[in-house]
Structure 1
Amino acid sequence: MAAPLMSLQRCCKQASLHLCVRRRLWSGSAATPPSVYKRLLLALTQRFYDVEFLLNWRSQLKSKALKKKNAYYHFTKEQYGENIASAYFVLNMKGAFRYAGQSEWFRSDSRGKFSWDFVNHKDSALEEVDMSHTVINQIGLANLVGNPLRTLTLRGCHEVDDWALARLHVFQDTLEELDISYCPHITIGGLAALRNLKGLRRLNVSSLPRLSSPGLVIILLEEMLPRCQVTAMGYDLSFTQVGGNEEEEGRELRGR
């Protein structure tokens, strides 16, 4: 949001300066009146702060909505227990889950509607959770703590970053499968935190755009998690692309 706003600000200031000069020329001579386009530009520069206010207001609303969606379900936990609170959080985020010892999946539909039958399983913990393409972040992950998760899918989650990966250590005793593919904010620093997941058997790191040397990173991941099958699609894995950052990334992933 900051970059487009700064770009708009520069554009408006330049246009304002240009038009002020032109207005002085127009006032001192009998030149042709400004065109409709130039008058529109002048009006926009005069309304710049209104536009800036609207953009900031929109950004604040988005931030508040994200914070609300990822809020900790303390009241639900106190009233119905930890398992129901976790299940309710997942469904409210338009995710899906499966209880331990059951084959049925509970999930929301495209409108966010879901069956309330999950409340009949108060004593069952969540074993598999699919939060693909939701807005879950590191704060929202707190709602899943306490469940013996074996599978966690975070595919295409734009709010999942290195801080979120660092929090996954709470599942180190149970987590076997993790999908963090297509998450645009994950870097080598976040992947280094996965060393705590010693029980991990499958890891999907496909199409992470912020990895500058994916071929090297994948090799180091396999070294760091020797019993884990690493899936990495969507990369050019040839080492001809490796530049001067490979040594730095290697040290960061190894943690030394």
Structure 2
Amino acid sequence: MAALGALRHCRAPGRLRPPHPTAGGGSSSSRSSSSRSSSSSSSGGGSSAGSSRAAAAATAAATAATTAATTAATLRLAALRGLRSWLCGAEEAAGWSARLQRYRLRLDSAYRGSVRELYGPDVAAAFFVLSCGGSARFQGRDEWLRPDARGGCGPELLRLRDLPVVAVDLSGSAVDYGGLDDLARLTQLQHLDLSGCRRVDDWSLARLHTLGASLRELSLAGCPRVTERGLAALHHLRRLRRLDVSDLPAVRHPGLTRILLEEMLPRCQVVGMDYADGLEPPPPPAARRPP
């Protein structure tokens, strides 16, 4: 009877309690899988964001480097352009200065023509020398007449019109062939200094033949345009006693030129050139073999 009661109790459907479904376990597994998926997605998103930031930083650095290089190149071109314009301006200014100086010399030459007619060739020559920044000395006077603060000459020049000019210093001036016309009219000029005159050339030296009867000292030191041909034209200066021909870069054979000058002007002391300048040393004598 007890067994039958137990059997009935087991078959009664109302008394049986089914176990809880495994939905809770499935939800937990799904939550774990979703958390894994979310973590994996978040980790993937973080890595992609980091790579994007690195690429953006690299792009920004490349852009900055390109901008800096472009700016440096632009500044360099601007500096070179400015330097070129400055050099062109300086060259143009130098050209204008030379043209203005030549124009001033022509005007002075025209003015000296009228001065020569009124006061004679010596006053006109002295006026030309002073206008070039040089100095002149008249006969019987120890002091040199020099230009005043404005670059001109004072009334003292007119008081010396009865005296001849015996010495002229035009060193470093812009005198050229045309400017020597006034000096060529001086009949008692004894000393002439043309050292450092960059425009004195061979034609200018040929213009000095009219001074052969009086000129005793002549300096041509540092005249870059003087060559052997111009020095050969000095044979007319028979009374020359001293000739300075030092530092003449256009003379190729200074030693031979000195020999030529001493043959042309035997009474003149030639200074500034050595016999050995421009000459090749003789070959050493051949060694003799012992007998």
TM-score by length of structure 1 reads: 0.71
Gaps of 5+ in 2: 1-62, 283-291
Question: Quick one: percent identity of the two aligned structures?
Answer: 38
Q: 2:66 aligns with which of 32, 43, 59?
A: 32
| Alignment-derived partner of residue 66 in structure 1 | 101
In 2, the alpha carbon distance for the partners of 1:235 and 1:37 equals 58
Q: Does 1:159 align with 2:185?
A: no
Helix, strand or coil for the counterpart of 1:123?
coil
Deviation track 1:94-126 (CA, whole Å, cap 9, x = no partner) reads 211111343332123687465431210222221
Gaps of 5+ in 1: 1-29, 243-256
CA contact (8 A) 2:221 2:248 kept: yes
In 1, the alpha carbon distance for the partners of 2:72 and 2:186 equals 61
Change (3 A) 1:236 1:99: same
Change (3 A) 1:79 1:208: same
Structure-to-structure mapping, 1:92-241, within 5 angstroms: 92-108=131-147, 112=151, 115-148=154-187, 149-232=189-272, 237=277, 239-240=279-280
More helix by share: 2
- Paired letter, 1:128: A
- Paired letter, 1:32: T
In 2, the alpha carbon distance for the partners of 1:168 and 1:145 equals 6
Change (3 A) 1:157 1:178: same
CA contact (8 A) 2:166 2:190 kept: yes
In 1, the alpha carbon distance for the partners of 2:281 and 2:225 equals 21
CA contact (8 A) 1:70 1:137 kept: no
In 2, the alpha carbon distance for the partners of 1:87 and 1:113 equals 11
TM-score by length of structure 2 reads: 0.63
Q: How far did residue 210 of structure 1 move?
A: 1.8
Structure-to-structure mapping, 1:6-85, within 5 angstroms: 32-33=66-67, 34-43=69-78, 54-55=89-90, 57-71=92-106, 72=109, 73-85=112-124
Larger relative contact order (C-alpha < 8 A, sep ≥ 6)?
A: 1
Name which of structure 1's ranges 176-185 and 50-59 shifts more when overlaid on structure 2.
Answer: 50-59
**Bigger radius of gyration, 1 or 2?**
2
In 2, the alpha carbon distance for the partners of 1:64 and 1:235 equals 40
Q: How far did residue 205 of structure 1 move?
A: 0.5
Change (3 A) 1:94 1:51: closer
CA contact (8 A) 1:95 1:132 kept: yes
